[in-house]
Amino acid sequence: MSKLNIGIILGSTRQGRLSPQVGEWIKKIADGRGDANYEIVDIADFKLPLLGEVDATEQATAWNEKLFTLDGFVFIVQEYNHSITGALKNALDYAREAWNNKAAGIVSYGSVGGARAAEHLRGILGELSVADVRVHPALSLFTDFESGSVFKPADLHLTNVNAMLDQVLAWSGALKTLR
Ligand SMILES: Cc1cc2nc3c(=O)[nH]c(=O)nc-3n(C[C@H](O)[C@H](O)[C@H](O)COP(=O)(O)O)c2cc1C
């Protein structure tokens, strides 16, 4: 059986964002497992305007085409005002079928591990028929980032990241049979 394709989606797009550091960390752990094709998917690369404001057929097509190549996702989620970023919500809104019947894990960060943003995302994923797995690595801005900017994750997260990836792969494989 060919390997599953898993997209590691960076949820923030602001200049100076921390999400690339977290995404690269997940990709390194994931690549070390050798059990799927993992790639970083940066929302910023797709230059999606706010949905409906201007004609964005080209950007929307490129975004949907990328999502259609993926069997599952790991969302890198950061907490903005107790929820997900506007950029991630906008990107979620830009597709429907391309999300459906796939699995996702959530890796979040914030002052309380990004927990509130992660829980909001779970509600949105339900509407998009994305099955979000239980295990959720939650990183602290205070203890996993030096001076709030240089990512230095505590070792204890490794077990959770691998358990999350195990679940994402199991469900991504199972849901592929529905599509
Ligand atoms: C507009 C805004 C709102 C924020 N609100 C929260 C919040 O409600 N809770 C929290 O824990 N952190 C909050 N933060 C801190 C962010 O979680 C932190 O800056 C994080 O690094 C943002 O992710 P990014 O660097 O990938 O953009 C907020 C940051 C911004 C820019």
Which pair of structure tokens corresponds to residue 31? 């690549």
Full domain range(s) for residue 90: 5-176
Distance CA 106, CA 8 (A): 10
**Contact status, residue 50 vs residue 90, Cβ threshold 8 Å:** yes
pLDDT band at 166 (very low <50, low <70, confident <90, very high): very high
What's the whole-number average pLDDT of the chain? 98
108: Cβ below 6 Å to ligand 1?
Answer: no
Question: What is the predicted pLDDT for the residue at 111?
Answer: 97
148 lines ligand 1 (CB under 6 A): no
User: 5 — phi, psi (to 5°)?
Assistant: -105, 120
Per-residue pLDDT of 133-144, as tens digits, reads 999 999 999 999
Ligand 1 touching residue 69 (CB < 6 A): no
Query: What secondary structure letter does DSSP report for 3?
Result: P
What pLDDT shows up at residue 133? 98
Q: If DSSP codes are grouped into helix, strand and coil, which group holds residue 105?
A: strand
Pairwise CA distance, residues 163 & 76, whole Å: 16
What atom in ligand 1 is closest to the CA of residue 78?
23
The two tokens of residue 38 are 């993992």
Q: Kind of pairing, strands 150-151 and 145-146?
A: antiparallel
Report the residue among 40, 76, 77, 79 best suited for mutation to probe ligand 1: largest number of ligand atoms under 8 A from its CB: 79
Which residue's CA is minimally distant from atom 8 of ligand 1?
81
pLDDT at residue 1 greater than cutoff 80: no
| Residue-level pLDDT at 78 | 98
Total domains, the chain: 1
CATH number of residue 9's parent domain = 3.40.50.360
Q: Is the CB of 82 under 6 A from ligand 1?
A: yes
Query: What is the value of pTM for the model shown?
Result: 0.98
* Dist CA 32 CA 14 (whole Å): 29
Integer Cα distance of 102 and 128 in angstroms: 9
d(CA 11, CA 61): 19
In tens, the pLDDT along 40-68 reads 999 999 999 999 999 999 999 999 999 99
Q: How far apart are CA 13 and CA 123, in angstroms?
A: 22
pLDDT for 95-123, tens place per residue? 999 999 999 999 999 999 999 999 999 99
Distance of alpha carbon 61 from alpha carbon 175, whole angstroms: 23
Q: How far is CA 122 from CA 5, 42, 75, 150, in A?
A: 21, 20, 11, 27
Total Cβ atoms within 10 A of residue 59: 16
